Amino acid sequence: MTSSLERETPRGRAGTVWWVLAAFALLVGASVLGAMIGPAGGITAANWSIVWHIRMPRVVLAGIVGSMLSLSGASYQGVFRNPLVDPYLLGAAAGAGLGATLVFAYGRTATSGWPVDPLPLAAFVGALVAVLITYVVGASFGGSGLSLVLAGVAVAALGTAIQQYLLLRHSDVIKEVYSWISGRVSTATWSDVRLVLPYVVVSAVVLLVHRRHLDVLRVGDEEAATLGSEVRRIRLVVVIAATLGTAAVVSVSGLIGFVGIMVPHLVRIVAGSSYRRVLPLSILVGAAFLILADIPGRMIEHGGETPIGVVTALVGAPMFIFVLRSRRVPA
């Protein structure tokens, strides 16, 4: 018996392999461009040093941040079955923003002598605490996907309100805070990369392990449960992993928006909605996208940097609209 299924399944897998190879090629191309483009040119020892110590860390960090935000976004979209969800859904952005604002407002002078910059730590802890509060609150009224999302909206509003109050009281730090919120990888160093990499690797491995479960969840919590999935446990594990990775990258790069929604969407449009493809491809395409998005910022303003978060939205939004118009989005 040779049904169409048996003939087609291998081709489906081969299709995935081709998409992954194409996305990988895109990533390599983006990395080369990211390393080459900038004020320094020509191959000299001094320029090589610039490339290695200044440009390569930011290329690598942009890649890590882009892949983590895209992977988290896709995973959140899977567990909440909502394509409009981003990794900041449960309050991670508001928490990180509040943590960073606290440091800028109260801690800058007090901690200037510290050997370790408290800013990433405050943002990281802020993001985790906000999501933890969301989860506890959401669980207290049912723990369904919807109650978590609603709790996230409330926690994010609360965090943002406190942050705005602090900014009004400390208007001298507004510019610094906004610069942080807009996101940047321009000051990246290899130590930033070493700082976030362990979290990102752990988070990515856990999320990738769950890609089959996310496909089962596509039929809804109830049906997934009757098919034998422990829906709440899966959602909890995925949210913890995605939040950990998001908090880690946000702590060094600030709040880079739009990537976590846009990249998974682009991936779905070309490769279909199965999370077995969406998750690995989001890692590669997300990395390539943010490396490319980091390039215009170096060239728009002479002597300065346009924040990467601004570029992702400025370049990404029109591109996204164009793609959405040209192809119907799969649900």
Partner 1 sequence: MSSLGFECVNVRYGAQEALFAFTDQVKPGEWLCLIGPNGAGKSSALRAVAGLVPYRGIITVDGSSLDMRSPRRRAALVAYVPQSPLMPDDMTGSDYVLLGRNPYVSYFGTETKHDRALVADVLERLDLHEFARRRVGTLSGGEKQRLVIARAVAQEAPILLLDEPTSALDIGHQQQALELVDRLRHEHGLTVVSAMHDLTLAGLYADRLALLHQGHVVATGTAAQVLRPETLSEFYGVSVSVHHEPDGTVVVVPRRNTVS
Q: Which residues would be at the binding site for partner 1 (CB under 8 A)?
A: 1, 3-6, 8-9, 209, 212, 215-216, 218-220, 222-230, 272-274, 330-331
Write out the two tokens for 104: 């800028």
Instruction: Give the shortest CB-78-to-partner 1 separation in angstroms.
Output: 11
Instruction: Give the shortest CB-236-to-partner 1 separation in angstroms.
Output: 14
- Please, which residue, 113 or 228, has the CB nearer to partner 1? 228
- Please, which residue, 28 or 205, has the CB nearer to partner 1? 205
Residue-level length of the chain: 331
Instruction: Give the shortest CB-82-to-partner 1 separation in angstroms.
Output: 13
Instruction: Give the shortest CB-89-to-partner 1 separation in angstroms.
Output: 21
- Please, which residue, 160 or 274, has the CB nearer to partner 1? 274
- Please, which residue, 239 or 291, has the CB nearer to partner 1? 239
Contacts of 40 (CB under 8 A, 6+ apart): 46, 47, 50, 51
| Region for residue 114 given its phi and psi (left: phi exceeds 0; alpha: psi -120 to 50; beta: otherwise) | beta
Write out the two tokens for 34: 């990211």
Instruction: Give the shortest CB-48-to-partner 1 separation in angstroms.
Output: 44
- Please, which residue, 231 or 313, has the CB nearer to partner 1? 231
Query: Exposed e or buried b for every residue in 270-281, given b needs 16+ CB within 10 A?
Result: ebbbbbbbbbbb
Q: Which of 269, 248, 308 has the alpha carbon at shortest distance from 72?
A: 248
CA distance 126 to 44: 43
CA angle 326, 330, 331 (to 5 degrees): 135
Write out the two tokens for 162: 């406190």
Write out the two tokens for 98: 């509040």
- Please, which residue, 9 or 191, has the CB nearer to partner 1? 9
Instruction: Give the shortest CB-1-to-partner 1 separation in angstroms.
Output: 6
CA distances from 285 to 104, 129, 202, 323, 324 (A): 33, 29, 19, 15, 17
Instruction: Give the shortest CB-14-to-partner 1 separation in angstroms.
Output: 15
- Please, which residue, 5 or 168, has the CB nearer to partner 1? 5
Residue 172: exposure state from Cβ atoms within 10 A (0-12, 13-18, ≥19): exposed
CA distance 291 to 145: 33
Q: Which of 279, 270, 291, 269 has the alpha carbon at shortest distance from 29?
A: 291
Instruction: Give the shortest CB-106-to-partner 1 separation in angstroms.
Output: 45
- Please, which residue, 70 or 273, has the CB nearer to partner 1? 273
